[in-house]
Amino acid sequence: MADMQDTMLLGLEGIKKTILHGGTGDIPKLRTGAKVTFHFRTQLCNDDRTVIDDSKVVGTPMEVVIGNMFKLDIWETLLSSMRIGEVAEFWCDIIHTGVYPLVAKSMRRIAEGKDPVDWHIHTCGMANMFAYHSLGYDDLDELMKEPQPLYFVLELIKVQQPSEYNRETWAMSDEERLKAVPILHGQGNKFYKQGQYQEATQKYKEAIICIKNVQTKEKAWEVPWLKLEKMANTLTLNYCQCLLRMEEYYEVIEHTSDIINQHPGAAKAFFVRGKAHMEVWNEAEARQDFSRVLDLDPGMKKVIKKELALLNMRMEEKNQEDKNKYKGMF
């Protein structure tokens, strides 16, 4: 029989803890800046205990820096009740699991080697409550529409105090982060000019993560938040320029559309998205985006004229190719 402390975690409402495997030593202190490494499994509270996410399947444990605005702060609370090596199951009620789908999307994208930046999470702190759109994963969309209690099975692997590991950008203070942004931005530009697009994307990404981390602490749509948003959008568009060169056109369309949905006046976002549409033969969309650029920034007239000429040429070539393809068929 589990003792009482196991079932009531730290007297917090809506959480029940069951220790599945005892750990060793004292419960480590999770100070701000400490890095916690752990495995997690997320399950539905149905008869099958359907597994939604499992870090062991992905093959790498999760790492979180305490006090670093990790979006699922309930995990910090759960981990702070565990010993090293302990495996525990936590039943968490809806009040603690509402943001899980957003965090899970982010973690899955990292696991798939896609982009670790929380593009969607920043809209209004919690979630896109007012502009719900698909997270790109059916099971997470379900959870988003109908939040429900979840089981988290956590295994605490190690805790490193701030002095014991290399402080990367995500372990910096806000002030350090903002100082790092122009440096990373410059490094990214340099790589871009040298044609090292993969390296450039890494630098831009790191800079965006720095900004987003600081931005989550500001009030959405107020002046400090908007200043950071503008910086982040500039970097995101640089990042997209790299993706264009790397022929990742659909990802470009996704990121630029995110910016446009939030900021319908972002001429440069329309321009970059137009170029991506052109590459994947979306003629109508490309024309529409280019004409929006002209509405928003008439100074771009010459550039757009060039792009449209290119688009016309591309479409003619494609039509000719299609004709030749079908000629052989009849």
Q: Length of the chain, please?
A: 330
pLDDT band at 257 (very low <50, low <70, confident <90, very high): very high
More confident residue, 161 or 85: 85
Can you tell me the distance from the alpha carbon of 292 to that of 163, in angstroms, rounded to the nearest whole number?
51
pLDDT at 37 over 50: yes
Can you tell me the distance from the alpha carbon of 19 to that of 3, in angstroms, rounded to the nearest whole number?
10
Q: What is the mean pLDDT of the chain?
A: 85
pLDDT digits (tens, 9 = 90+) for 209-247: 889 888 888 888 899 999 999 999 999 999 999 999 999
More confident residue, 135 or 104: 104
Query: Which uninterrupted H or E stretch holds 275?
Result: helix 267-279
pLDDT band at 18 (very low <50, low <70, confident <90, very high): very high
> Is-contact 89 9, C-beta < 8 A?
no
Structure token pair of residue 48: 């099958």
> Which residue type is seen at 169?
T
pLDDT digits (tens, 9 = 90+) for 90-102: 999 998 888 888 8
Q: What is the largest CA-CA distance in the chain?
A: 79
Q: What is the DSSP letter of 60?
A: S
Can you tell me the distance from the alpha carbon of 151 to that of 48, in angstroms, rounded to the nearest whole number?
12
Residue of 95, 93, 99 whose CA lies nearest to 129: 99
Can you tell me the distance from the alpha carbon of 146 to that of 176, in angstroms, rounded to the nearest whole number?
39
CA distances from 215 to 31, 173, 218, 228, 279 (A): 22, 13, 5, 6, 33
Structure token pair of residue 243: 């993706």
Domains of the chain, each with CATH number or no CATH:
4-164 (3.10.50.40), 176-315 (1.25.40.10)
Angle between helices 249-262 and 267-279 (to 10 degrees): 150
- For residue 192, count CB atoms less than 10 angstroms from its CB and return exposed for 0-12, middle for 13-18, buried for 19 or more: buried
Can you tell me the distance from the alpha carbon of 206 to that of 194, in angstroms, rounded to the nearest whole number?
19
More confident residue, 70 or 1: 70
Contacts of 130 (CB under 8 A, 6+ apart): 124
Given this model, what pLDDT does residue 256 score?
Answer: 95
pLDDT at 69 over 60: no
* Average of per-residue pLDDT across 152-158: 96
Write the DSSP assignment of 125-142 as a string of letters. TT--SSS----S-HHHHH
Long-range contacts: 307-312, Cβ < 8 Å, 24+?
307/274, 307/275, 307/278, 310/278, 311/278, 311/283, 311/286, 311/287
pLDDT digits (tens, 9 = 90+) for 169-210: 556 778 888 888 998 999 999 999 999 999 999 899 889 988
Can you tell me the distance from the alpha carbon of 259 to that of 38, in angstroms, rounded to the nearest whole number?
34
Can you tell me the distance from the alpha carbon of 30 to that of 229, in angstroms, rounded to the nearest whole number?
31
> Which residue type is seen at 46?
N
Q: Chain centroid to CA 75: how far?
A: 18
- Residue 228 CB-half CA count within 13 A: 24
